[in-house]
Amino acid sequence: MALPQQKVDATEARLSSMSLPSSKGWLGKAREDALSRVRLMGLPSRRDEYWKYTRPDTLVQADAPKAALFNIGEAPVFSGIDRLHLIFVDGVFDPEASDDLELSGVSVELLSQVGDKDIHWATGLYGSLEQDGQSPVQRPLAALNSAYATEGVLIHVTGAAAKPINISYLQRDETSDACLHHVIKLDEGAKLTLLENGPAAARLNKVLEVDIADSAEFRHVRTQGRAHERRAATHIFGRLGERSVFKSFTLTANGVLTRNECVLELTGDSAVAHVAGACVGDGDFHHDDTVFITHDAVDCESRQVFKKVLRNGATGVFQGKILVNQVAQKTDGYQISQSLLLDGDSQFLAKPELEIYADDVVCSHGSTSGAIDEESLFYLKSRGVPHAQAMNLLVLAFLAEAVAEIDEEEIADEIIGRLTNWLERRMS
Amino acid sequence: MLEIKNLQVKLEEEDKQILKGVDLTVEPGTVHAIMGPNGSGKSTLSYVLSGRDGYEVTGGSASLEGEDVLELEPEERAAAGLFLAFQYPVEIPGVGNMTFLRTALNSQRKARGEDEMSATDFLKLVREKAKSLKIDADMLKRPVNVGFSGGEKKRNEVLQMALLEPKMCILDETDSGLDVDAMKLVSEGVNALRSEGRSFLVITHYQRLLDHIKPDVVHIMYDGRIIKSGGPELALEVENNGYADLLEEAV
Ligand SMILES: Nc1ncnc2c1ncn2[C@@H]1O[C@H](COP(=O)(O)OP(=O)(O)OP(=O)(O)O)[C@@H](O)[C@H]1O
Ligand SMILES: [Mg+2]
């Protein structure tokens, strides 16, 4: 089907403002393929069904809208955790500030340094999981990323990683437009925890492709930075082998526009995939979580748990889908999305979807929107807890089910600490 | 301690008068009981005293140690020493009982200008109080009242009272839903708290509780008023004859 002319024009306008990075090696081909995908699909527009609740204009336009730097004067999240620390500033790797790329059980390389090689393990993964994730729903911003990204890390995990890898994204330039593409490959039985934090840039387009072999475990916890004016479109594409585990949790606070897509395919039997998110928005912020989980194997479990606390005009969006193909018998699928609206100015837009072709499955989904429970609030206050503190306790309690998706206690505590600080600053 | 004068209360949302002039004075160190038929306004009185939304005070006053409590926020009333053991304790999913108890205790200490209690001291204190009420560690770990049985919820109320050591304790049907042994435990918990500086207002339907917690004064509430006050024998009269005679007498 031919694209509408308007879409072609908008796409070409964006592409003409960029130049395709040259890579002589394996990466060159991947980029060209990705670019042709972009041209075929066209970049998202407001008319697209998949962008019904979130306006893509500022993510698509040539220049990144300016975003003021934001300093909260707080130690960065995950500081207290023993980790391999990698730092990107406005989307560019900072070797001085980062740790050496050495970690037992893991090889870490930079996309900027290996693209010219003839052969690389990431061939066949880079842009490829993204490509698989373009059907049945198109995700053109991810293809755009595969074509143009020059920065990112390629992580090959061969055993149990000795400690988590933490990638921090700093923003120093009010107009920076970052494009980051990471590829992670976990061999059979390998284990890795990836931590990400920070605003990254005025505008961020990030893709994370994760290939999880049989019995491997990938855990992911990120915080997206409280910079008020930042924008981000992120995609995670994951492929899960037999008995493998994928668990991802995202804390989103503030940010004028955030669209997080997570696209997972469970291809091996008895795989487990959990995607969770806690969003807190107080002001003119827009958070969109779009999740698509495809069950292609027997006896797999998937869980989606999203909680959003909204106030002062904040908007929360959740589009979540569980697709259970005919082969995927004994699927256990669960999806919940809930919002806590702290005033009448905020809104939550949810589109939960189940599409099931197998007959022996247990799938449930639910979506709710509600206010603070007045009975609980009074009960707390009647015990002497001041109003603001009682509100914070109830907000944290509301978010608890999502935070509980984080397996490592130390990391969960970091997230709870951040949430508490945020609440104390914003709500009192 | 507590002085209620001609207190009149209506529902905020509806034009419905519930308390029609309640007069009640509770002296320091005494136990007062309130009995009365269903719907007579006993819980409403306890809610209004503790500051719940939804009621409008249309007349009269209520003061705690001379301070007008009706002007205070619920948390200020708590810090001033007022405590209500709820007829229907609230379940709060996601808030751990321990977190709740510690936050409550420390909030009150802070409001009174005292230091917060350390985590270890607090733990010791809770364990000790919980033990005497036969509240096990599991109940302390669970979210506030979630999945607690009716009787467990009531014991949890008394645990809060024991920890917070309020001056004016209002117990709204704390005995309902308790088995015989739990009733004894709860009564012992309450009796252990009895002291010169602490008063109790015990709302109940049954004489049985008053066998354990001996009241100094018993009041009968009917249709938003205290229609009769007397000694412990008044509770026995209700137990034996019901309310009919008393109501007739009052009319
Ligand atoms: N929020 C409300 N909306 C409507 N009616 C109310 C409300 N609160 C109280 N009432 C009414 O006020 C009256 C007094 O109620 P209250 O709960 O105080 O009675 P009570 O003496 O505690 O009764 P019980 O012995 O059954 O606990 C009842 O008729 C009740 O229906
Ligand atoms: Mg009652």
Neighbour order of strands in the sheet with B225-230: B82-85, B168-172, B199-203, B31-35, B217-222, B225-230
Look up residue A10 and give its two tokens: 């908008």
The answer to whether the beta carbons of residues A144 and A38 sit under 8 Å apart is yes
Residue B29 and residue B198 in contact, taking contact as beta carbons nearer than 8 Å: yes
Q: How far is the CA of B108 from the centre of ligand 2 (A)?
A: 27
Q: State both tokens at A104.
A: 């037992």
DSSP class of residue B195 equals B
Contacts of B105 in chain A (CB under 8 A): 384
Best of A379, A393, A420, A423 to disrupt the B interface (most B CBs within 10 Å) is A379
Tokens of residue B170, six digits:
């209002």
Please give the C-alpha separations between residue A195 and each of A87, A173, A368, in angstroms, as whole numbers.
12, 23, 29
Q: How far is B174 from chain A (nearest CA, A)?
A: 16
CB proximity B51 to A under 8 Å:
yes
pLDDT digits (tens, 9 = 90+) for B50-93: 999 999 999 999 999 999 999 999 999 999 999 999 999 999 99
Q: What is the pLDDT of residues B115-124, one digit of tens each?
A: 999 999 999 9
Contact between A344 and A374 under an 8 Å Cβ cutoff? The reply is no
Distance, in Å, from the CA atom of A226 to the CA atom of A343, rounded to the nearest integer, reads 21
Running DSSP on this structure, what letter comes out for residue B52? -
Using 50 as the pLDDT threshold, list the residues of chain B that sit under it: none
pLDDT at A80: 92
Residue B39 Cα, ligand 1 centroid: separation in angstroms?
5
Which amino acids bring their CB within 6 angstroms of ligand 1? B 11, 18, 36, 38-44, 54, 87
Distances (CA, A) of B34 to A242, B38, B196: 66, 12, 20
Q: Are A245 and A272 in contact (CB under 8 A)?
A: yes
Quick one: B90 exposed, middle or buried, by C-beta within 10 A (0-12, 13-18, 19+)?
middle
Choosing from B8, B10, B11 the residue with most ligand 1 atoms within 8 A of its CB, the one to mutate for a pocket test is B11
Distance CA B99, CA A60 (A): 46
Share of chain A above pLDDT 70, in %: 99
Output the average pLDDT for chain A: 95
Q: How far is A108 from chain B (nearest CA, A)?
A: 39
The pLDDT of residue A316: 97
Q: pLDDT digit string (tens) for A405-415?
A: 999 999 999 99
What residues flank ion ligand 2 with Cβ within 5 A? B 42-43, 87
Nearest CA to ligand 1 atom 13: B39
Report CB contact under 8 Å: A385, B79: no
Rounded Cα–Cα distance for residues B41 and B94 (Å): 32
Identify the band that residue A427 occupies on the pLDDT scale cut at 50, 70 and 90: low
**What amino acid is encoded at A106 in this protein?**
V
Whether B95 sits inside 8 A of A381 (CB atoms) is no
Say if residues B55 and B12 touch (Cβ distance below 8 Å): yes
- Cα–Cα distance between B198 and B196 in angstroms, integer? 6
H/E stretch holding A418 reads helix A409-427
d(C-alpha A384, C-alpha A394), whole Å: 15
Q: Is the model more confident about A304 or about B15?
A: A304
- What is the pLDDT at residue B245? 78
Give the pLDDT of residue A274: 98
Which of B14, B17, B19, B38 for mutating ligand 1's site (highest number of atoms within 8 Å of CB)?
B38
CA B21 – ligand 2 centroid, Å = 18
Test the B interface: residue of A336, A338, A382 with most B CBs within 10 Å: A382
> Does A409 contact chain B (CB < 8 Å)?
no
CA of B44 to the centre of ligand 1 (A): 6
A230 in Cβ contact with A171 (< 8 Å) = yes
Does the pLDDT value for residue A428 go beyond 70? Answer: no
Cβ of A384 within 8 Å of Cβ of B73? The answer is no
Q: Chain A: residue nearest B84 by CA?
A: A382
Which A-chain residues 341-380 have CB contacts (< 8 A) with chain B? 373-376, 378-380
Structure confidence at residue A107 (pLDDT) = 96
H-helix or E-strand spanning residue A423: helix A409-427
Query: What's the mean pLDDT when you consider all of chain B?
Result: 91
Give the ligand 1 atom nearest the CA of B46.
18
Beta-bridge partners for B217 = B32
Between the CA of B224 and the centroid of ligand 1 the distance, in Å, is: 10
What DSSP string runs through A122-189? Answer: TTTTTTHHHHHTTSSS--HHHHHHHHH--B-EEEEE-SB-SS-EEEEEE---TT-EEEEEEEEEE-TT
**Digit-coded pLDDT (tens) for A129-188:** 999 999 999 999 999 999 999 999 999 999 999 999 999 999 999 999 999 999 999 999
Distance between CA A238 and CA A310 in Å, rounded?
A: 29
At residue A232, the 3 state secondary structure works out as strand
Tell me chain B's radius of gyration from C-alpha atoms.
18
Q: How far apart are CA A154 and CA A145, in angstroms?
A: 15
pLDDT at B86: 94
**Dihedral angle computed from the Cα positions of residues B108, B114, B119 and B125, in that order, rounded to the nearest 10 degrees:** -70
